[in-house]
Amino acid sequence: AQKVTQTQTSISVMEKTTVTMDCVYETQDSSYFLFWYKQTASGEIVFLIRQDSYKKENATVGHYSLNFQKPKSSIGLIITATQIEDSAVYFCAMRQTGFASALTFGSGTKVIVLP
Amino acid sequence: EAGVTQSPRYAVLQEGQAVSFWCDPISGHDTLYWYQQPRDQGPQLLVYFRDEAVIDNSQLPSDRFSAVRPKGTNSTLKIQSAKQGDTATYLCASSLEGNTEVFFGKGTRLTVV
């Protein structure tokens, strides 16, 4: 069984600065995907960025980047140049590769971007 | 392209009542998921389908919850005899086999009083 743990419940940052969120995971699978999703105040869940376990390079999309440390089973999310609209709850999730697997989510980290 | 559509958006029940949630996945998506998200927690998988077949329903409280996807398209999640502990947002999601991205609907917020 897979397990995803986010220990930071809430982070406040000033606008235009960088925020980093932690996530550790447990899995028996040799190949898997790691994801970060954002849930807005309206409840909408939006995909942000993905890391494939077999890739050594950290994924980057826009102002989102990942800090993938496979030996530590860790996948951190870094948001640079934060904006007010980055205020949301961020979920780390994983799924195994292969046939019809489901996402396992962490408990989420609430980010508050202050003006 | 239309996203994942769920209805109703909100439901308020008394304990013991029944409720059904409906989900229309993205056209062509063969995999459909139902998640339960209690307040201030992450989504927790209830059940998922590939086409009309149940792949995993091990987390579905089988005595009161049921889910079907008879034609491999739309899906219904039903709660018989709701309890206060069922208060949560119920999320439907879909994906296409071979594609890693999962798309979520806006959810149904259920309150059981």
CA distances from B71 to A13, B40, B53, B104 (A): 48, 34, 10, 20
Cβ of residue B91 closer than 8 Å to a chain A Cβ: yes
Contact list, A6 vs chain B (CB under 8 Å):
42
The reply to whether B99 touches chain A by the CB within 8 Å rule is: no
Interface A-B, measured as beta-carbon pairs within 8 A, has a size of 51
With CB atoms and an 8 Å threshold, state whether A99 touches B97: yes
Better-predicted residue by pLDDT, B61 or A104: A104
Pick from A31, A35, A49, A103 the residue to mutate for testing the B interface (most B CBs within 10 Å): A103
**Do A84 and A61 contact (CB within 8 A), yes or no?**
no
Instruction: Chain A: give the shortest CA distance to residue B1, in Å.
Output: 16
| pLDDT of A84 | 97
Of all residues in chain B, the one with the smallest CA distance to A103 is B45
Which residues in chain B are closer than 8 Å to A96, comparing Cβ atoms?
Answer: none
B84-88's contacts with Cβ under 8 Å and 24+ in sequence apart are B84/B15, B84/B112, B84/B113, B85/B112, B86/B110, B86/B112, B87/B38, B87/B39, B87/B111, B87/B112, B88/B36, B88/B37, B88/B38, B88/B39
On chain A, the residues whose CB falls within 8 A of the CB of B55 are 100, 102
The whole-number pLDDT of residue A1 equals 82
pLDDT averaged over every residue in chain A: 95
pLDDT tens across the length of chain B (113 residues): 679 999 999 999 999 999 999 999 999 999 999 999 999 999 999 999 999 999 999 999 878 999 999 988 999 999 999 999 999 999 999 998 777 789 999 999 999 99
Distance between terminal CA atoms of chain B? 37
**Contact yes or no for B106 and A43 at CB 8 A:** yes
CA dist A107 → A3, A39, B51, B92 (Å): 11, 12, 29, 18
Helix (H/G/I), strand (E/B), else coil: B38: coil
- In the stretch 44-83 of chain B, residues with CB closer than 8 A to chain A read 44-45, 48, 50, 55-56
Confidence of residue A13 (pLDDT cuts 50, 70, 90): very high
Residue in B with minimal Cα distance to A90: B42
> Closest Cα to residue B11, out of B92, B82, B93, B94?
B82
B96 versus A115: the higher-pLDDT residue is A115
* pLDDT band with cut points at 50, 70 and 90 for residue A75: very high
Two tokens at B51? 């086409």
pLDDT value of residue A56 = 92
Give the dihedral of Cα atoms A42, B49, A47, A44; nearest 10 deg: 0
C-alpha distances in Å from residue A114, one per residue of A3, A15, A84, A90, B74: 32, 6, 7, 17, 41
DSSP A59: P
